[in-house]
Amino acid sequence: MDIGGLETVVANSAYVAARGDVDGGSGGRDRKMRARLKLPHVLQLEEARARTLALHPEPSNPSLPSFERVCNLEPIGRQLFRQFLDTQKEFRPAGQLLQACEDMDTSEDSEKPEAAKKIVAEHMGDKNAASFCPFLSAAAAQSARANGSFAEALAETLEHLRAHALAKYVGSPHYLRYLQFKWLEMQPMGEEWFSDFRVLGKGGFGEVCACQAKATGKLYANKKLNKKRLKKRGGYEGAMVEKLILEKVHSRFIVSLSYAFQTKQELCLVMTIMNGGDLRFHIYDVDEANPGFTEARTLFYSAQIVCGLEHLHQHRIIYRDLKPENVLLDDMGHVRLSDMGLATELQEGEDKTKGYAGTPGFMAPELVKGELYDYSVDYFTLGVTIFEMIQAKGPFRYRGEKVENKEVKRRILNDSVAYSDRFSADCRETCEALLAKDPAKRLGFRDGSCNELKKHRFFAAMNWGRLQAGMLEPPFVPDSKTVYAKDVNEVGAFSSVRGVTIVEEDKDFYDSFSTGSNPISWQEEIIETGVFQELNLWPADGSLPNDLCKDKLPTSEGASGRSSACTVL
C-alpha cells in the first residue's frame, strides 16, 4: 500500500469510529467543551430577551415576540411552549389537540379515520370533558366531523393561543428557560468548538471536510472558503447569497446550515453531513452492470425531492441546479438537496426572474431561451432527474456523450422524450407532465404548494405526513462502515494564492459573514444529542430552579437545576 492509500485508510478509520461513537449515544463529546454548555442565571438574560424581541416581534403586538417563531418554528421554543400549555388548565386542551392532530398526520393511512373520530370525541364532543375546546367554531367542528379535515380547527387553535396564551407564556418561567437557551445559542462560535476529520471533497474556493461538534458529539460537514481565493475570484457575493439562503430555509429535505464562522484563513459553513454519497454515484457506480434504480426507489427519492422543492418555493427561492449529484443521502438513506450556489430568491413583488444558470441537459426550455422564468424550471429538472434515476441516462444527454451544448439545447427545445419499458404508465405520465416544454402546462408549484403534483398517480401510495416526519423506511440504507467519498489523495490540493491583500473592507465582510449559530439547527442539535434534556431540569415540588430565581445568585461554579430552589410566588 502506498503512502496515499495508507493516509486514506487512517483518515477513514478515524471518521468511521467517530460516526460509531455518535450512533452509540453521547460518545464523541469533549467533557470540557460540554461543560461550557451551562445555562446562565436569570439576571443575565436581558440581552437575549431584547434581541429576541427586536429580531422577531409579533406582528399583531410588537411588544411581544413572534408567536410563530418562538412557539412553533424554533424546536426548543416549541417544546417549552408545549410544556407551558400542559401546566395551564385553560390552555391544556389546546395543546392536547395540537399534539393529537400531529400524531394523526404521521399515522398509517389505515389508522387515520379512527384517530380522527377520537379527536372529535375528546375535543369537540362532550362540553363537560376536561379536553373540550370551547374556542372552536361550529364550522371547524363540523368540517372535522363530516370530512375528517382539521385544517380549520388547527388554524383556530393557533390563533386562540396567539391571542390568549402568548402574553402569559412570555411572563412564565418556561419563557425564561427558553431565553436561557437563546443566551447559549448567541455565544461566540469558532473553530475551537470543532474537531476536523478527513477531507470529503473540494469546491471552487476550498475543501469540504467532516467535522464534529466537541460539546455534543454531532457530526457535520465543514465547507471552508479560503479568504484570499474568494477575493481573487470575486466570490464574495455568491458566498453570501448561498449563506443567506441556507439560513432562510429549514427542511429535513434540504442540507441545513448550522454555523458560520471564520478562522485566520477561511470562512466556514458548517452544514448537515450526508454520509451516504450522492444519487449520481448510486445510479451508476454501485452496480455498474445494472445502473439505475427501481421505480419504487425512484418514487421515494422523488417524493423527498418534491418536499425540498416545495419548501424552497414557499420561501420564494428558485433552486436552478437540481441534478442527481446535488441530491445527497444521509446515514439512514433519506435524501436532501444540496449546493445552493446557483439558487436565487425572488424579491417581494416579483413573480419571475431572468438569468442563465444550471447544468446543460437539465435546464428548462424557457431558461435556455433566455426568457423570464419562475419556479417551474425546477420541476423540469425534477422530470430530468426522475428519468435519469430510472433509465440511467438523461432524456437529452447520455452520460459520457460528447456533444456540444448547442445540440443539447436544440434537443431540449425541440425533441420529444423516448421512454423505455422501465417506466410504468403512471411514472411516464408524471415525467411527461414535468417535462412539458410550455411552463404554463408543466406540473409543479401552484397556489403555494405542490399538492397537485403530490396527488398524481405516480405518488398515489405515498403517505406524505409520515414522509415529512421522517417516519417512512428508506428503500436503501448506506453501509455505515463505508466512506462514500474519494480517497484523500484523489481530492487534490489547492495551490497557494498570491498577489491578494486583505484590507479592512474585506475584514468587515468576513465579520458580517461570521454570524455564529443558526438558531433552528443549533436547537435541533441540542435536542437530538440529549443536551436539552440534561439542562432542562425542574424541581419535582413545583418550585423554581436556582438559575431562574433572582434572589439566588450563582456561585463561582454556577447554578444547577438540581440544587435548592426558591418558591414560585
Q: For helices 376-391 and 425-434, what crossing angle results, to 10°?
A: 140
* Across 207-230, average pLDDT: 94
Query: pLDDT digits over 125-176, tens only?
Result: 877 788 999 999 999 999 999 888 999 999 999 999 999 999 999 999 999 9
Q: Which CATH architecture has domain 277-469?
A: Orthogonal Bundle (1.10)
pLDDT on residue 569: 35
Query: What is the Cα–Cα distance from 152 to 133, expressed in whole angstroms?
Result: 13
Q: Which three cell numbers stand for residue 448?
A: 403555494
Q: Which three cell numbers stand for residue 253?
A: 429535505
Among candidate residues 278, 321, 378, 547, the one labeled active-site is 321
Strands in 264-334 per DSSP E: 266-272, 317-318, 327-329
Q: Which CATH architecture has domain 42-186?
A: Orthogonal Bundle (1.10)
Query: What is the Cα–Cα distance from 281 to 424, expressed in whole angstroms?
Result: 24
* Across 208-230, average pLDDT: 94
Query: What number of CA atoms fall less than 13 Å from residue 532's CA on the CB side?
Result: 19
pLDDT on residue 203: 72
The sign of the torsion formed by the CA atoms of 484, 486, 487, 493 equals negative
More confident residue, 564 or 129: 129
Query: pLDDT digits over 390-399, tens only?
Result: 999 999 988 7
Query: What is the Cα–Cα distance from 230 to 237, expressed in whole angstroms?
Result: 10
pLDDT on residue 206: 84
Q: Predicted confidence band at 498 (pLDDT cuts at 50, 70, 90)?
A: confident
Q: Domain-by-domain residue ranges, the chain?
A: 3-21+188-275+491-517, 42-186, 277-469
More confident residue, 568 or 310: 310
pLDDT on residue 398: 83
Q: Which residues of 219-229 are buried (b: 16+ CB within 10 A; e: fewer)?
A: bbbbbbbbbbb
- The chain-wide mean pLDDT, for the chain, equals 90
Long-range contacts of 283-290 (CB under 8 A, 24+ apart): 283/324, 283/388, 283/389, 283/392, 284/392, 284/399
Query: pLDDT digits over 261-311, tens only?
Result: 999 999 999 999 998 989 999 999 888 889 999 999 999 999 999 999 999
pLDDT on residue 62: 96
pLDDT on residue 207: 87
For the question of residue 438 being annotated catalytic, the response is: no
Q: Predicted confidence band at 558 (pLDDT cuts at 50, 70, 90)?
A: very low
Q: What are phi and psi of 271, to 5 degrees?
A: -130, 175
Query: pLDDT digits over 530-550, tens only?
Result: 999 999 999 999 899 999 998
Q: How wide is the angle at C-alpha 540 spanned by C-alphas 535 and 545, nearest 5°?
A: 50
In this structure, whether the domain defined by 3-21+188-275+491-517 belongs to CATH 3.30.200.20 is answered with: yes
Q: Predicted confidence band at 243 (pLDDT cuts at 50, 70, 90)?
A: very high
